[in-house]
Amino acid sequence: MARKILVIDDDAMMLTILSKALDKEGYDVYVAKNGTEGLALARASRFDLVICDINMPDVSGFDVLREIKRTSPSTMVINITAFGSIKDAVKAVHMGAVEYVVKPFPLEEMTGLVGRLFNQGEESGDSSRHATGDDVVNSLVCNSEGMKKVFSILEKCAPSESNILITGENGTGKDLVARYIHLKSPRRDKIFLPVNCAAIPSEMFEGEMFGHEKGAFTGASRNREGMFSLANGGTLFLDEVTSMPPELQGKMLRALESREIMKVGGSGFEPVDIRVLAATNVNLAEHVANNRFRKDLYYRLKVFEVNVPPLRERVEDIEPLCSYYVSFYNKRLGKTIREVGPAVVARFKKYGWPGNVRELKNVIERGMILCDSDAVGLRDIPMELFGDVGDALTPGTTLKDEMHNYEKTFITKVLQKVGNDRKKAAELMGIGLSSLYRKMEELGIKSNSPPEN
Ligand SMILES: Nc1ncnc2c1ncn2[C@@H]1O[C@H](COP(=O)(O)OP(=O)(O)OP(=O)(O)O)[C@@H](O)[C@H]1O
Ligand SMILES: [Mg+2]
């Protein structure tokens, strides 16, 4: 049965976008445009998850959270907070919210989080648990020598207090590794606070990190805690660390070395007890060589360095990742697909995966949506995966013929799947509507649907 989700937000646009995205994921989605309406719905029916904005005019997100935790403790609550109100977010988590998400966020972040929460709940048989614990640990597939090496380093350095720099291409799993480190450390029951350095405007960076005193600058109408204070006792994860403004790198270094911070406009230092993890997908050493990143800060961050290898260098992980995500998406999509077929796996092993595990995960999800047998077959996989140089085609056919046939079958099938809704089909295939029309004409695909308006 589909999971029931209630989304509460007074921002109509946000409400629409979010509910559509969750609906597309196969959840049973209800919406409420304010806190009063949300609470009424929550009283009338039990939800597996409530996603609720904190800042609403009538009933605040805190009130909604309190009421839901009182009347239906097993309902998970995710709070949405505005950028810059991280203190609210932390308060929400203390009040029992399972997670918080800071606006603006990519939709993928929310859908990914929701999927993870449900998946964990199902595996543990309890949907009220926090997004911590063994779930993250269990969800990490690691079969290859490359990943085993990563984990043997993590075994040693995670329980220590040392700062760790996590490097790797986009989508290799740096985020997951950071959470894993936190969970394997003595701080596991304390806060894990991820901060995306690229998402903070540089003029606000210092205040966001270290906090500010009332009146420190125009607009500072009250005292504010920074990330360092909020993460006190726990782990601060500085994601995309190279995006940190250069002029603040000195101050950051000082904070890491002395474990003391000074608020903007403050007059004295306060001690903080944090462990810092940092991640980057660019070559930080090169940045240092080009004087774009302070060398001393670099060395301070990389007491240990963990490089998560790209997927193409650890093909042994592909099969276990397929099994993991088949069961993951079976639950989400309500399907009973057995496996990703051997021909597809063989193809996957030859592909370069520029988007790494994230890309593989998306391809599996899409394949499972299209699949109408019990195994994801070549037909359910996007054609670009067939375009790799060195692919062995059936002898006697030209590449052009193969591609033509494949494209034709694939597009026809997608169109059938979506009831000839060309717009939807184009979306699903990741191409523009006009490209789809062109392709249909080129391949001689006839569609009976009325033209798009
Ligand atoms: N070893 C793994 N086992 C299972 N899932 C994984 C693994 N590595 C990554 N994933 C999944 O792939 C997706 C991308 O991972 P993650 O966000 O950790 O990557 P990242 O390196 O932080 O990416 P980016 O550079 O874009 O920030 C996530 O959905 C994550 O759960
Ligand atoms: Mg990341």
Is 141 in contact with 324 (CB distance < 8 Å)? yes
Average pLDDT over every residue of 1-27:
90
Which of 176, 284, 308, 353 is the best mutation target for the ligand 1 pocket, counting ligand atoms within 8 Å of the beta carbon and taking the most?
176
CATH for 393-453 (1.10.10.60, 3.30.365.10, 1.10.150.120, 3.40.50.2300): 1.10.10.60
194 in helix, strand or coil?
strand
Residue that wins the pLDDT comparison between 420 and 135: 420
Please report, rounded to a whole number, the percentage of residues in the chain having pLDDT higher than 90.
Answer: 42
The average pLDDT across 254-275 equals 93
239 alpha carbon – ligand 2 mean position (Å): 7
Could you report the per-residue pLDDT of 130-178, keeping only the tens digit for each? 334 456 777 788 889 999 999 999 999 999 999 999 999 999 999 999 9
Report the pLDDT averaged over residues 58-68. Answer: 90
Pocket of ligand 1 (CB under 6 A): 112, 139-142, 168, 170-176, 281, 321, 324, 357-358, 361
Please give the number of the atom of ligand 1 that sits closest to the Cα of 172.
21
Mutation choice for ligand 1 from 114, 357, 363, CB with most ligand atoms inside 8 A: 357
Peptide bond into 104 cis (omega under 30): yes
Note whether 137-309 and 393-453 share their fold: no
452: which 2 tokens?
Answer: 């798009």
Query: Do residues 152 and 145 make contact, with C-beta atoms less than 8 angstroms apart?
Result: no
Q: What is the predicted pLDDT for the residue at 277?
A: 97
Could you tell me the two tokens for 445? 């695909």
Q: SS3 letters for 63-82?
A: HHHHHHHHHCCCCEEEEEEC
What confidence tier does 345 reach under pLDDT thresholds 50, 70, 90? very high
Burial string for 72-84 (b: 16+ CB within 10 Å, else e) reads beebbbbbbbeee
Residues 6+ apart with CB under 8 A from 377: 341, 343, 344, 371
Cα 107 to ligand 2 centre (Å): 15
Of the residues 175, 237, 325, 359, which should be mutated to test ligand 1's pocket, given the most ligand atoms within 8 Å of the CB? 175
Q: Which atom of ligand 1 is nearest to the CA of 173?
A: 18
The values of phi and psi at residue 435, to 5°, are -65, -35
- In terms of pLDDT, which residue wins out, 432 or 319? 319
- Whether 254 and 212 have beta carbons less than 8 Å apart is answered as no
CATH number belonging to domain 4-130: 3.40.50.2300
From the CA of 140, how far away is ligand 1's center (Å)?
Answer: 9
CATH tag for 137-309 (out of 3.40.50.300, 3.30.930.10, 1.10.10.10, 3.90.1150.10)? 3.40.50.300
Q: Is the pLDDT of residue 129 over 50?
A: no
3-state secondary structure of 100: strand
pLDDT tens, position by position, 250-264: 999 999 999 999 999
State the number of CA atoms in the 13 A half-sphere of 160 facing the CB.
11
Sign of CA dihedral 61, 65, 66, 71: positive
439 versus 306: the higher-pLDDT residue is 306
Q: Give the per-residue pLDDT at 128.
A: 33
The closest alpha carbon to 137, from 88, 179, 193, belongs to 179
- Domain spans in the chain, listed from the N-terminal domain onward: 4-130, 137-309, 393-453
Q: Facing residues of 238 across strands?
A: 195, 278
Cα(359) to centroid of ligand 1, in Å? 9
CA of 280 to the centre of ligand 2 (A): 8
**C-beta separation of 325 from 364 below 8 A:** yes
Look at residue 127 in the predicted model and tell me its pLDDT.
33
**pLDDT tier at 192 (50, 70, 90 boundaries)?**
confident
Going by pLDDT thresholds of 50, 70 and 90, the confidence category of residue 326 is very high
Average pLDDT (365-372) is: 87
Q: How confident is the model at residue 410 (pLDDT cuts 50, 70, 90)?
A: confident
